[in-house]
Amino acid sequence: MLKKLALALAALAAVAIILRYESVSASLFLEVSGWIRGHYHNAIEAVDEGVTTWFNQAATIEALSEENRRLKKQEQTLSAFAAEVIALSRLRSYETPPDFSVTTVRALSYAALPDLHKILIDYDGLGPNEVRGLIYNNQTAGIAVQSVGSQTKVLLNGDAKCSYAVYIGESQVPGIIMGKSDQEMIVRYIPAWMQVEKGDEVVTSGLDGIFFAGVQVGTVTQVHRLNAYIEATVRPHHNAFNPGYFYLVESTR
């Protein structure tokens, strides 16, 4: 009897322990599962926010990149425009003598690369077989020789076919100057009995109708006495390697 009672009490104690353990386990399970669910939802929200932020950042980066490209294009355009304005501003106001007229023209491109002595200008008023002078700040730059559609072909000073009438020195020794190279021109057909010296200034004579008289050409660097004529080497004042804006002589009368 006592033995049976002891076994019954032991069984009741075991059941109580099991029930208590299950209660604690259930509570612990619920607590752990709740913690996991909470962190899971937090993680999902964080991922969603991260994805949204990434896409927003990607869209922002693309928008900023596009804006940057647009601003760079505007900068290049404005820089080119500014360069044009600066080039034009360097062309000083030119006071021509009475009845003489000039017009402003712009170099558009080289006429035949790699030849750097032939350019095209934005001028369409050149007549057949007509030659007109090109001036940069009272210095000869070349001659306009041929109409090409709505443009005009120019031979700069360095071209061998660029030629016009000049005077040398204070005594106004006449001659015809011709292109030779980037840094040199040659005055030919100078009368042998006339005096030409190194350092003499060369200006246009205006007798050919290409330029009017007095436009600066260059300085004599060498004098060569031949049998029938004198030739003079001249260093031109204008640097023909920088084509930009010029004055074109429209009329010398």
Contacts of residue 195, Cβ cutoff 8 Å, sequence gap at least 6: 169, 171, 173
Least confident of 10-24, 74-88, 174-188: 10-24
Q: What is the 3-state secondary structure (H, E, C) of 67-111?
A: HHHHHHHHHHHHHHHHHHHHHHHCCCCCCCCCCCEEEEEEEEEEE
| Mean predicted confidence (pLDDT) in 67-74 | 61
pLDDT at 89: 64
Q: How far is CA 189 from the centre of its chain?
A: 43
pLDDT at 21 over 50: no
pTM of model > 0.85: no
Q: What is the mean pLDDT of the chain?
A: 78
pLDDT band at 25 (very low <50, low <70, confident <90, very high): very low
Res. 18: pLDDT tops 90: no
Q: Which of 85-94, 123-132, 209-218 has the lowest mean pLDDT?
A: 85-94
Query: Given pLDDT bands bounded at 50, 70 and 90, which one contains residue 83?
Result: low
73-82, 101-110, 136-145, 231-240: which range is least confident on average?
73-82
Query: What pLDDT sits at residue 231?
Result: 96
**Cβ contacts of residue 233 below 8 Å, gap of 6+?**
180, 184, 185, 186, 220, 221, 222, 223, 224
Per-residue pLDDT at 75: 55
Read off the pLDDT of each residue in 13-27 and give the average, rounded to a whole number: 47
**Between these two residues, 103 and 90, which has the higher pLDDT value?**
103
pLDDT at 50: 57
Distances from the Cα of 227 to the Cα of 5, 109, 149, 172, 188, angstroms:
157, 42, 45, 21, 13
223-233: pLDDT as tens digits: 999 888 999 99
Predicted confidence (pLDDT) at residue 53 exceeds the cutoff of 80: no
